[in-house]
Amino acid sequence: MKINNIDYAATGAFSKTITDYLCCSEQLQPFYNHFPTLEAFEAQLKEKSFSETQRQTLHQALQEQYTSLSSVNPKVQQKIDLLLQPNTFTITTGHQLNIFTGPLYFVYKIITAINTCKQLQEKYPNYNFVPVYWMATEDHDFAEINHFSLFGKQYTWESDQSGAVGRFSTKDMEPLLAELPEAYPIFEEAYRNSKNLADATRAITHALFGEYGLVSIDGDHAALKKALTPVVEKELTEQLSNKLVEEANAQLEELGYKPQVYSREINLFYLTDGLRERIVREEGKYKILNTDISFSLEEIQQEAKEHPERFSPNVILRPLYEELILPNLAYIGGGAEVAYWFQLKKLFEAYQVAFPMLMLRNSALYISRGNANRMHKLGLQPLDLFQDYQELKKQLSDQLHDEEINLEAQRQAVAAAFAEVEKLAESIDPTLVKAVGAEAQKANNSLQMLEKKISKARDSKHEQTFKQLENLKDKLFPGGSLQERKDNLLTYQTNNPDFIPALVEAFDPLEFKFTILEEA
């Protein structure tokens, strides 16, 4: 496997917010704590406080959650048990419960966490580091996670269930499983043998990444939610998060950065089986949208104390919840995720919770042997592929020694000739000037038409070459987007069983470069 690393800015696929962050722009420094370097983790280790009681609660919750598996990989169990030790810390990434892992970046996030732990273990041998996948089980946007693309075809799970997707039964996935082009045992067994999507996703990540000690956690757990109770109290009575995030948003906008997520007055949902709806304050009552449920302040405070599991943080409060229940040092996310964490630092300071390091997940372009051969046959290098199709087409034309078809010089010569004729006509009979102008326009139009015809003939001459280029771009940038945002793991792992180990070998999480993997 040939590996090249390029700057994220060179891809043209990442926002100014992210490229500025990776350059340690002074403008963004007030919105995060430590920039993630191996050396900076030393300060983060000292700042993160996590009590023995918190560790016991976390350990017990994970032990309960992993009973959904018939057996637990010893490497995973070892990591879970290490969380009881005061010198053990986590590196966390999170994602929705996309079926069949969804787009490739799901896998890239997890591998970034695994490799970060590996590097930290070498740098700080007196500590233990656990890679954690935070399962977004409480998310209720089923339409975002119910499909995946395999070999260019979309497969969709149809279901009329509602509420938090982690609680969805997987029993009605049979029509989708029957539609698959071949058997995928890891996934089929997980979906057929699990009681819900959360358990199925844990089984899948355990099968794919158990050897690397990945621990998957479900925040939809009553004992874990108790840590959120003080936050819920302030949210209901003071709307603290909204005030602080709005302040941060205004500051970011003033610097030219667009906020990624928007806060609400109350950043909480009410959660029960089949239901996850926003909590709103209206006419002195706390109402659950789209239901008849409402509470007085005293009633909802009592509800929060007795049933913390019924209160679900939205995108604003979920990061704080994570850091309350994990001994976490860094959060790994995509570009949009890292950007929205910049909106939250004031919130963490208000609750006196250490703000984690923010790490951009690894991103990659994977070029199979067949596509690599096509690329080289066209005389292109991997970096060339990030240009748009028209630019590449022009570059290819230049390589084919074709001059750009441009008759501008001829147009100028003809225009000059007609100008002379016009002078002559005006000296003899001024009424002829219009006729000369009309003929000049006809000549100009004819040259433009000929220019197009000659260009078209030249393009036809190399039509097959340009078609190969177009197909290559479509394969490597499906829908004009980065491969990782569209394609699924199985598209690559089916033909390359060592795909995940190859990524683990290739990704350097703290180099902050875009990775190009080319099969030799």
Residue 510 lies in a domain: no
Residue 445, pLDDT score: 92
The answer to whether 363 and 280 have CB atoms below 8 angstroms apart is: no
Domain count, the chain: 3
Tell me, yes or no, whether 277 lies in a domain.
yes
The pLDDT of residue 401 is 61
Please indicate, yes or no, whether residues 240 and 286 belong to a single structural domain of this protein.
Answer: yes
Assigned domain for 271 exists: yes
Flag whether 487 is in a domain.
Answer: no
The pLDDT score that the predictor gives to residue 404 is 65
Same domain, residue pair 284 and 328: no
pTM for the whole thing? 0.88
Q: What H or E segment, with its residue span, contains residue 107?
A: helix 105-123
* Phi and psi at residue 7, to the nearest 5°: -65, 145
Are 299 and 325 in a shared domain? no
Concatenated DSSP letters of 284-332: TEEEETTSS-EE-HHHHHHHHHH-GGGEEE-TTTHHHHHHHHS-EEEEE
* Claim to verify: residue 357 and residue 242 sit in the same structural domain: no
Domain that holds residue 105: 33-221+314-335+353-363
| 39 and 56 assigned to the same domain | yes
CA 209, CA 71: separation in Å to the nearest integer? 14
Q: What is the pLDDT of residue 468?
A: 92
Q: How far is residue 397 from each of residues 109, 371, 375, 380, 388, measured CA to CA in Å?
A: 38, 20, 15, 12, 14
Alpha carbons 407 and 72: distance in angstroms, whole number: 72
* The token pair that represents 498 in the structure block: 């060592």
In a domain? residue 190 = yes
- Residue 403: the pLDDT is 61
Q: Which of 461, 488, 507 is the last residue of a domain?
A: 461
Residues 50, 175, single domain; the answer is: yes
Residue 107 is predicted with a pLDDT of 98
Residues 257 and 208 in one domain: no
Specify the pairing of strand 328-333 against strand 88-95. Answer: parallel
Share of the chain above pLDDT 70, in %: 99
- Is 236 found in the same domain as 167? no
Residue 481 resides in a domain: no
- Tell me what the pLDDT averaged over the chain comes to: 94
Which has the closest alpha carbon to 70: 230, 242, 273, 210?
Answer: 210
Do 213 and 234 belong to one domain? no
125, 273: one domain: no
Does 296 lie in the same domain as 321?
no
**517 located within any domain:** no
Tell me the HSE value of 323 on the side-chain side, using a 13 A CA sphere: 27
Are 57 and 155 in a shared domain?
yes
Please identify every stretch of the chain with a pLDDT value under 50, giving residue numbers as ranges: none
With contact defined as beta carbons under 8 Å apart, do 123 and 508 qualify?
Answer: no
- In this prediction, residue 329 carries a pLDDT of 98
pLDDT score recorded for residue 325: 98
**Residue 399 belongs to some domain of the structure:** no
